[in-house]
Amino acid sequence: MQRQPSDASSTLTDAFEEGAGAAQTQRIFRQEHEFVRDDDADAENARRWETRMARRYYDALHKEYAICDLSRWREGAVGLRWRTAAEVTSGKGERICAARGCDSRDGLRSFELPFEYVEQGEKKLELVKCRACRSCAKKLKGRKRSRSRSRSRDRSRRDRKKKKKEKSKAPVVPEADVKFMDTLRRDIQENGPVRSNHLNAFYKRHPEIKPKGSGAGTWIAKRCQHYGLIVKKPEKYGGAMEFQLAPTSSRKLNIVADRQEDRPPSQLPDHRLINKL
């Protein structure tokens, strides 16, 4: 006849014989307890009564199946512990659902869970088996989905903040480009429209401007709307583009072009109205 293992709760009672008080025993037990103990480390520290107490409690546990706590499954957190002798005798965790507070006996299934936990400041991972009913099994599976959903929500939230921050930043325009377009607009005000195939004449009138290379017409056309200019498309494919001043009603000027001395006479304020005010 095999000797039945003692209940794990009796080992804490036996600890008082070692000369420790109740409060001190609980505090030391929390420090020394490990979910999965190392046999070699316990053998080296066998002289310490704290290690012997924790080891006696650990040996009294049944580690085939675990008891699970699903009270925080929506947060993606599940608590696991080994079964005591009383739970093994009653069938809790094997013939009865392993979830705390659940006494279902129907539709039990075995699961092997990768249990990740932090113990004594060290991150550990163990494979633990438990048996659960259908409703509790959904919670065990749902913890992974809820954790992945929360991670995806955090990732998408960070991406939205990053995109919003990038959009809020004003694009940096080189000073040479601003000077080029400002000079071109002034030249059009004084001498009329400029064609893309006649830019050499524009460069001769303004030697302080650095000439653009090939594709200068396309480069200017992309920036015209920001400097109060419009582009007249050629009648034939491959023809020259013509740059003109935008009509007064629909003209939009940027910060550089929005100076009073650079505006055409039609856009200057009426000093007679200003004097009346």
DSSP-based three-state secondary structure for 202: helix
Q: What percent of the chain has pLDDT over 70?
A: 74
**pTM to 2 decimal places:** 0.41
DSSP-based three-state secondary structure for 133: coil
Angle (CA) 45 48 52, round 5°: 85
- Residue 96 has a pLDDT of 92
- Residue 170 has a pLDDT of 59
* Sign of the C-alpha dihedral computed for residues 117, 123, 125 and 126 taken in this order: negative
Contacts 24+ apart (CB under 8 A), 145-152: 146/73, 146/74, 146/75, 146/76, 147/76, 150/76
Query: Dihedrals φ, ψ of 98, to 5°?
Result: -75, -10
- Residue 211 has a pLDDT of 87
Task: Please tell me what DSSP assigns to residue 229.
Answer: E
- Digit-coded pLDDT (tens) for 51-105: 888 888 878 778 888 899 988 888 888 888 888 888 888 889 889 999 998 999 8
- Residue 41 has a pLDDT of 79
- Residue 275 has a pLDDT of 47
Could you give the residue ranges of the DSSP H alpha helices within the chain?
A: 8-14, 22-32, 39-44, 49-59, 85-90, 134-168, 175-191, 199-205, 216-223, 271-276
Is the predicted pLDDT of residue 273 greater than 70, yes or no? Answer: no
19: left (phi over 0), alpha (psi -120 to 50) or beta: left
- Two tokens, residue 6: 């003692």
Type of residue at 107: G
Other beta carbons within 10 Å of 99? 26
Is the predicted pLDDT of residue 155 greater than 80, yes or no? Answer: no
- Digit-coded pLDDT (tens) for 174-183: 888 888 989 9
- Digit-coded pLDDT (tens) for 102-131: 999 888 988 888 888 888 788 888 888 889
**Rounded to whole angstroms, how far apart are CA atoms 182 and 275?**
31
- Residue 8 has a pLDDT of 53
pLDDT: which is higher, 154 or 144: 154
Type of residue at 224: C
Mean pLDDT score of the chain, rounded to an integer? 76
Task: Please tell me what DSSP assigns to residue 233.
Answer: -
**Rounded to whole angstroms, how far apart are CA atoms 199 and 212?**
9
- Digit-coded pLDDT (tens) for 202-236: 889 998 988 888 888 888 888 888 888 888 888 77
Burial of 84 (0-12, 13-18, 19+ CB in 10 A): buried
- Residue 1 has a pLDDT of 36
Contacts 24+ apart (CB under 8 A), 103-108: 104/133, 104/135, 104/136, 106/133, 107/133, 107/134, 108/132, 108/133
